[in-house]
Structure 1
Amino acid sequence: MKNPTLRRVLVVTTVVGATLGGGIAVAAWTSSGAGTAGAKAGTATAPTTGTVAASAFTSGLLYPGGPSGEARILVNNPNPYPVKVTSVVANGTPAGSGGTGTCTTTGVGWIAQSPNTSVPASGSATLILPGAVSMTTASDDGCQGALFSIPVTVTVVSQ
């Protein structure tokens, strides 16, 4: 710049602008306070179970004194979040139906399971549990071909 007056005006303007800007920053006040925020948890709804059609059982069938067999269970999750099935345990006496005759003494026993299977939010999953059931030699002859209903308790945890 060749004009000394213009240079002085620019320097003065810059100094005044910096001073005013600094004054504004110094004049800003800050404050804080403490209080509480609110939130509410939902309520978990218990899962429900359903039976699987007899036609689904093609392997892992039970025989008196034979190896452990396969159990299948439909688990319904009514919750708006996914869950994981952590355990399935017996909670009653198994009953047999649809066999070749009377199946009062089933001889069927349940082996506790920990499948760790996920069930989607508001969805369902069929659990296939190999080795979950067995049949003793005390089973009635009429239990041949029967479908067994085994009361269980299913425990789930949120994911």
Structure 2
Amino acid sequence: MKLSKRASVIALFLVAVVAGGVASAAWLVSGTGTASSQAASAVSLTVTAGTPTASLYPKPAAGYGSGTVGAVQAKVDNPNPFPVQLTSATIGAVSITPLSGRTCAASNVVGLGTIALATPVLLPASSTGTVVTVPGALEMISTAENGCQGAGITAQVTLSGASA
């Protein structure tokens, strides 16, 4: 009886050592090899005209006094799989469509070049129709023709920023 009790204890000890060794080996398993990924390519934003406000008028000698005068508004689509933060706008060519029977030369309105956005605009990934307002983007010359009243004004705008 002593021999079988001793054999049982030894057998249990060997099972514990072997089982512990297997469990230990499972924790130490590793492998090395290669993996791959691919960076996304940035796609240009789509910028379309937003809903304008009737805020532009001939510039007084003292200036406008408010950034809301001459603001332009655009709707922006970000087709990228990452968010984009817009930090500036560059105003390019300006065109004017006067009301029927009136005249208003394009030279009556001036785009103010590159404008830093005081508050950067965050465009979520894969977003559409985000409204971006660029304050103080346009000025009307002080001697603008009377026919410029009520005219529609379109400005080329380039929005710039980086992935966020």
> Same fold, TM exceeding 0.5?
yes
| Residues 98 and 147 in structure 2, CA contact (< 8 A), matched pair in contact too | no
In structure 1, list runs of 5 or more residues that go unmatched: none
Q: TM-score, normalised by structure 2?
A: 0.72
Q: Which amino acid aligns with 1:43?
A: S
Structure 1's 147 and 23: CA in aligned 2 closer, same or farther, altered over 3 A? Answer: closer
Kindly provide the CA deviation profile for residues 65-115 of structure 1, in whole angstroms up to 9, marking residues without a partner as x: 2415122111122223332222111233x1111347211122333261324
User: Which residue, 30, 47, 50 being the options, matches 1:49?
Assistant: 47
Counterpart for residue 123 of structure 2: 119
Over the matched positions of the two proteins, sequence identity in percent amounts to 30
More strand by percentage: 2
Dislocated runs of 4+, deviation >3 Å? 3-7, 18-33
TM-score normalised by the chain length of structure 1? 0.73
| Aligned mate of 1:17, from 15, 21, 30 | 15
| Structure 1 partner of 2:158 | 153
User: What displacement does 1:116 show?
Assistant: 1.4
The code of the aligned residue for 2:14 comes to V
Per the TM alignment, residue 45 of structure 1 is displaced from its structure 2 partner at its CA by: 1.2
Letter of the 2:90 counterpart: V
Corresponding residue of 1:101: 102
Q: Distance in 2 between matches of 1:74 and 1:142?
A: 28
RMSD: 3.1
Partner of 2:142: helix, strand, or coil?
A: coil
Count of residue correspondences? 151
Larger Rg computed on CA atoms = 1
Partner of 1:62: 56
Which one of 35, 38, 50 corresponds to residue 36 of structure 2? Answer: 38
One-letter code of the match for 1:98?
P
What residue is the counterpart of 1:144 in the other structure? 149
